[in-house]
Amino acid sequence: MKWPRLKRDYVGLKAQTLRDLRNGFLTIPKGKVVTITYWHGGGSIASAPCPCCGVKAHMTKVQQRDLLLLPKGKP
């Protein structure tokens, strides 16, 4: 799927990580489906809650090249 032309249209889209994303606190593994929550100077993403512990991962400053946009209607 192609990325929308306007950055404001990114919000709410589902994407899949193309590599392990790490910051000082957490790692989001390659292949994880995330939701884009904000986009300005890099993206803010959030993952679904973990089924065993309920933790929901949030990460900022994610680049487009690290995400594969999923078609609408996919989980």
And the tokens for 70?
């999923």
pLDDT at residue 74, rounded to an integer: 55
List Cα–Cα distances, 33 to 13, 47, 59, in angstroms.
10, 7, 13
pLDDT in tens, the chain (75 residues): 788 888 889 999 999 999 999 998 889 999 999 999 999 888 999 999 989 998 899 999 999 999 999 987 655
pLDDT at residue 7, rounded to an integer: 87
> Which sign, positive or negative, has the C-alpha torsion 53, 62, 39, 67?
negative
The amino acid occupying position 30 is: K
Is the distance from CB of 47 to CB of 19 less than 8 angstroms?
no
**Domains of the chain (ranges plus CATH)?**
7-69 (2.30.30)
